[in-house]
Amino acid sequence: MIAVRGLTKRYGTVLAVDDLTFDVEPGKVTGFLGPNGAGKSTTMRAVLGLDRPTAGTALVNGRPYAALDEPLREVGALLDPGAVHPGRTGRAHLRIAARTNGLPLRRVDEVVEQAGLGAAARRRIGGYSLGMRQRLGIAAALLGDPGVLLFDEPVNGLDLDGVRWIRGLLRRLADEGRTVLVSSHLLSEVEQTAERLVVVGRGRLVADTTTEELLRGLGGRRVRVRCVRPDLLAPALRRRGATVEEVGDAELQVQGLSAEDVGEVADSVRVPLHHLSDVQQSLEEAYLALTAGSVEFAGQDPVPTGADR
């Protein structure tokens, strides 16, 4: 288990993490989300003892990382796939990690196979693609067969086969009862793998909830309806307290009523319906709504040139 309590981290005048508190429980994949500069990487570094908190604590199984007797057997992490010696082979990198942590060398062969490194494990890391560096980093995280794992952008650079593999790996690790924390900007992947979400913005906690609750709770229930007389149906729905938006030709999006309620209102005003369905909010939509006020580094649309006007 990972327990973060009142974690605060300052770099000079910059407040990177601000009184952050949350738990990452075993048996679940927890997604760690937030805009650039939100404090995600700093928090993960604090958990791993790489950054000393200004205030508060970040504990693994009730202890600071530095106090763990055999840290690689308890915690595995992938933070920066480029933080390896380019002149070593992948296998040599893993063998050094195994020897310095008292792990049997057979684990090197096991994680090489598990991560799909294959023959690349005998090549120098300097010639690896980003995807192969990611696989090596994941292999290193698994080396001690730890119960707690942290991954920062684990699908970066992976091909489709690699993305499917890491998706299945994360679920399997959680199913085995391990604690899994995953930071990623690929929300479609997070939506498919994470059962719980911790969302931060400007160093502070924005949400700590299940994926299902976040998708259901933000913005409420929405219904899509297509009919021949939206001009009659829309006012009737608004009289029932619904928010109604025209989203296409003869098509409405209704918020605040169930699909069954919309059908009953349509029947009461004798408007035939051609389509009626609940709309599933995506994690991307929910995330953008939740973090709208926490984006520190926001781009701007380009200003049209004279030829574009």
What tokens were used for 220?
């409420």
Cα–Cα distance measured from residue 86 to residue 128, given in angstroms and rounded to the nearest whole number: 9
Query: What's residue 290's pLDDT?
Result: 75
Q: Provide the residue-wise pLDDT of the chain in tens; the chain has 309 residues.
A: 999 999 999 999 999 999 999 999 999 999 999 998 899 999 999 999 999 999 999 999 999 999 999 999 999 999 998 889 999 999 999 999 999 999 999 999 999 999 999 999 999 999 999 999 999 999 999 999 999 999 999 999 999 999 999 999 999 999 999 999 999 988 888 989 999 999 999 999 999 999 888 876 655 568 999 999 999 999 999 999 999 999 888 999 998 888 999 999 999 999 999 999 987 667 877 777 777 766 665 555 565 555 555
Q: What contacts 114, CB < 8 A, 6 or more positions away?
A: 139, 142
Which among 292, 206, 204, 293 has a CA at the least distance from the CA of 16? 204
Tell me, rounded to whole angstroms, the distance of Cα 183 from its chain centroid. Answer: 5
Which domains, from first to last, does the chain contain? 2-216 (3.40.50.300), 218-289 (3.30.70.980)
The residue assigned the tokens 């952050």 is: 20
Q: What contacts 18, CB < 8 A, 6 or more positions away?
A: 8, 39, 202, 203, 204
Query: What's residue 220's pLDDT?
Result: 56
Which among 142, 150, 151 has a CA at the least distance from the CA of 107? 142
Query: What's residue 229's pLDDT?
Result: 94
Query: What's residue 103's pLDDT?
Result: 96
- The answer to whether residues 208 and 22 touch, using CB atoms and an 8 Å cutoff, is yes
Which among 46, 95, 68, 29 has a CA at the least distance from the CA of 203? 46
Pairing of strands 204-210, 196-201: antiparallel
- The answer to whether residues 88 and 124 touch, using CB atoms and an 8 Å cutoff, is yes
Query: What's residue 219's pLDDT?
Result: 52
Q: What is the mean pLDDT of the chain?
A: 91
Which CA distances in Å does 171 have to 2, 175, 249, 256, 292? 18, 6, 42, 34, 29
